[in-house]
Amino acid sequence: MDETTEEYAAAIHLWVWSGFYLAEEVVDMLSEQLKDEEEAADEPLLQRLIAQEFAAKQQAEATWPASTDCDRLDQAFATLKDAGIVCLHNAGYTMSDGLDDVAEALDEHQSAATKGYCFYHAQDLERAAAGSGLWLAYGSLDDEAATKKLVGQHIQAAMQESGLVVEWDGDSKSRIQLPHIDWKRRYAE
C-alpha cells in the first residue's frame, strides 16, 4: 500500500470507529477528499477497506459491554443540556471550527436558561480513539472567568456522575480531560 493510500486507510479507520458515520457517509467523505487529491490513491482498495472496517467494528460491538464510556458521555451531555449547557460531539476539526459550530448551535438553540457550552472537535476525537483520552472545551455565554468556571464545574460533576474519570485543575482557562475514556461508540441516529 502506498503512502497516500495508507493515509486514507487511517482516515477510514477513524471515521468508521468514531461511531458517527454510516458506510454511505464514509464513502462520500472519501470521494470528496479523493477529488482534491493530487496523488492517486487505490480507490477500489479503499472501498474494500470501508466494508472491512465496518464488518470488523460490527463484530467487535458484539463483545462490548451494554453501556460504554461513550454511552456515559452521551448521558453526561444530556444532563448538561438539561442544565442549560449546549453540548456538541465531534464539532469541526479544530478548536476554531468547534467554536464556529457552537456559535451556530447557540443561534439555533439558545434560550434564557442557556449558561454555556461544551464540545470536543475531530482532533480531540482522533486522540480519544487512539487511547489518549478526550479533551473537552467549554465556555460561558458572558465569557467571564467566574461564570466559565461554574460551567466547567457543571461539566466535571456531570461527567463524574455518569461514571467517567475527570481531570481538571479548576482553572477556567484549562480544558477538561477524560483521561481514561475507552472509545467504543455504536452508531445511533
The amino acid occupying position 59 is Q
pLDDT for the residue numbered 39: 62
Q: pTM here?
A: 0.92
pLDDT for the residue numbered 126: 95
Contacts of 52-56 with CB under 8 Å at 24 or more apart are 53/12, 53/13, 53/16, 53/17, 54/16, 54/23, 54/26
- Residue range 151-163: mean pLDDT, rounded: 98
Instruction: Measure the CA dihedral 46/28/17/92, to 10°.
Output: 130
Do residues 176 and 159 make contact, with C-beta atoms less than 8 angstroms apart?
yes
Q: What are the pLDDT digits (tens) for 98-156? A: 999 999 999 988 788 899 999 999 999 999 999 999 999 999 999 899 999 999 999 99
pLDDT band for 160, please (50, 70, 90 cuts).
very high
In this structure, what DSSP letter does residue 175 have? P
Do residues 169 and 179 make contact, with C-beta atoms less than 8 angstroms apart?
no
- For residue 112, what is its C-alpha cell? 434564557
pLDDT at residue 1 greater than cutoff 70: no
The amino acid occupying position 61 is E
Q: What are the pLDDT digits (tens) for 36-49? A: 766 666 778 888 99
Q: Spell out the residues 6+ positions from residue 12 whose beta carbon is closer than 8 angstroms to its own.
A: 26, 30, 46, 49, 50, 53
